[in-house]
């Protein structure tokens, strides 16, 4: 096993065979395969994220640049609401990250019709998200892909932000980024218009979308294309003007917009307390310079003085399917068979989740 340039601060495990026992395949994304595993040394459950090689050049050079960028960022992050990078395994060009294991994600909670999400629950999830993202921003990191799927939860009610594959440092005034970041439904209008210089406000917009989604149990701006996405935004917020978003017409992909008045949020998010509507409004301002910061949002009445107060994490709901899975895992623990080896060094992988 070899250390990788630029990430020498981390301890590299000699072999996953020696330390990590694969328990189950959890899923596959565009850039990684994820497994549930047991750390034999620490006697704890962890997540193993095997990064896929980006192409022939990466395989030939034995280097995965996106993985190195993700590791370099994650190794500096230590916060209760951010998934921790516990270890790194390198096998030739292959990189596997060992991370905190979490039981489910916020998207699972939102989609579960058997769960009643109270305003107090939503406040608790919102506070933990805002605290985690505020920490990232204080440390000059943009997440750039906040969405319910990337907010992980456990049965104790802890929420942790995950997936730093698109994260980038910010703070240099002349630094340019790509506008093709953030899943479309949570993408800020400046990104839709092609902005290449942006900051923490893009994450704040995404948080506003997530809070609204928790309250109405459906995405607030579910566009199927960038054009439709902007149309969905204008239907709610009205069309931008020079008064609400200075100089937006100078952005690369800015388009002429019809004058629309929009719809008051209270008509869309019915029965939602006004204090929570105020949070969403301040996150979903057109002008990124006028959007609240995460720190400012945390100081708003919704999270400080207005009842109902946020639920204690231990009182947050757990999907019945997750409880059943955990119970089954517990029963199987005492009589577990040796699992077939999963090849983490090549291209072979299980394709169905063992849950």
Three-state helix/strand/coil letters over 254-307: CCCCCCCCCCCHHHHCCCCCHHHHHHHHHHCCCCCCCCCCHHHHHCCHHHHCCC
Q: How many angstroms separate the most distant Cα atoms in the chain?
A: 67
pLDDT given for residue 305 in this prediction: 96
Q: Which domains does the chain have, with CATH numbers?
A: 13-101 (3.30.200.20), 104-168+181-315 (1.10.510.10)
Query: Going by C-beta distance under 8 Å and a sequence separation of 6 or more, which residues neighbour residue 4?
Result: 63, 68, 71, 88, 90, 95
- Please provide the average confidence, as pLDDT, over all residues in the chain: 85
Question: Quick one: which of 319, 315, 282 has its CA closest to 298?
Answer: 282
Task: Report, as an integer, the average pLDDT of 324-346.
Answer: 56
Residue 49 is labelled as binding a ligand: yes
With a cut of 60, say whether residue 340 has pLDDT above it: no
pLDDT in tens, 143-194: 999 999 999 999 999 999 999 989 999 986 556 677 666 799 999 999 998 8
pLDDT in tens, 17-66: 679 999 999 988 777 899 999 999 999 999 999 987 765 555 555 556 77
Question: Quick one: which of 162, 160, 163, 164 has its CA closest to 80?
Answer: 160
Which pairs count as long-range contacts for 16-19, CB under 8 Å and 24+ apart, including other chains?
Answer: 16/48, 16/89, 16/91, 16/96, 16/344
Q: Measure the CA–CA gap between 200 and 282, rounded to whole angstroms.
A: 14
pTM for the full predicted model: 0.85
Element (H, E) at 25: strand 20-28
3-state secondary structure of 33: strand
- Give, as one character, the DSSP assignment of residue 135: H
Look at 326 and 149; give whichever has higher pLDDT.
149
284 pLDDT tier (thresholds 50, 70, 90): very high
Does residue 145 carry a catalytic annotation?
Answer: yes
- Give, as one character, the DSSP assignment of residue 74: H
3-state secondary structure of 181: coil
**Residue 77 C-beta-side C-alpha neighbours within 13 Å:** 35
CA terminus-to-terminus distance, the chain: 31
Per the residue annotation, which of 105, 145, 163, 275 is the catalytic one? 145
Q: Worst-scoring range by mean pLDDT, 1-15, 63-77, 115-129, 320-334?
A: 1-15
Q: Measure the CA–CA gap between 260 and 301, rounded to whole angstroms.
A: 30
pLDDT given for residue 333 in this prediction: 57
């Amino acid at each position: 096993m070899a250390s990788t340039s630029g990430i020498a601060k981390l301890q590299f495990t000699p072999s996953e065979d020696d330390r990590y026992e694969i328990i189950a395949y959890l899923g596959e994304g565009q850039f990684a395969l994820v497994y549930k595993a047991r750390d034999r040394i620490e006697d704890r459950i962890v997540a193993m994220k095997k990064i896929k090689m980006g192409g022939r050049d990466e395989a030939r050079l034995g280097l995965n640049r996106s993985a190195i960028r993700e590791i370099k960022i994650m190794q500096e992050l230590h916060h209760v609401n951010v998934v921790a990078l516990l270890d790194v395994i390198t096998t030739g060009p292959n990189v596997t990250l060992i991370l905190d294991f979490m039981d489910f994600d916020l998207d699972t909670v939102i989609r579960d019709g058997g769960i009643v999400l109270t305003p107090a629950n939503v406040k608790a999830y919102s506070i933990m998200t805002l605290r985690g993202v505020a920490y990232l921003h204080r440390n000059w990191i943009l997440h750039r892909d906040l969405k319910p799927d990337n907010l992980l939860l456990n049965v104790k009610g802890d929420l942790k932000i995950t997936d730093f594959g698109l994260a980038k440092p910010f703070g240099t005034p002349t630094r340019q980024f790509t506008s093709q970041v953030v899943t479309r439904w949570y993408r800020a209008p400046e990104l839709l218009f092609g902005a290449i210089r942006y900051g923490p406000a893009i994450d704040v917009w995404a948080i506003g979308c997530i809070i609204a989604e928790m309250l109405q149990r459906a995405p607030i701006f579910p566009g199927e294309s960038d054009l439709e996405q902007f149309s969905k935004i204008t239907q709610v917020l009205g069309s931008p003007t020079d008064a609400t978003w200075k100089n937006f017409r100078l952005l690369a992909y800015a388009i002429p917009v019809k004058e629309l008045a929009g719809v008051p949020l209270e008509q869309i998010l019915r029965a939602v307390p006004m204090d929570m509507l105020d949070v969403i409004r301040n996150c979903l301002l057109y002008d990124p310079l006028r959007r609240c910061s995460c720190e400012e949002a945390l100081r708003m009445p919704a999270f400080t003085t207005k009842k109902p107060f946020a639920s204690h994490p231990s009182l947050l709901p757990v999907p019945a399917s997750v409880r059943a899975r955990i119970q089954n895992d517990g029963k199987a623990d005492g009589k577990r068979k040796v699992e077939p080896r999963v090849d983490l060094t090549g291209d072979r992988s299980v394709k169905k989740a063992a849950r």
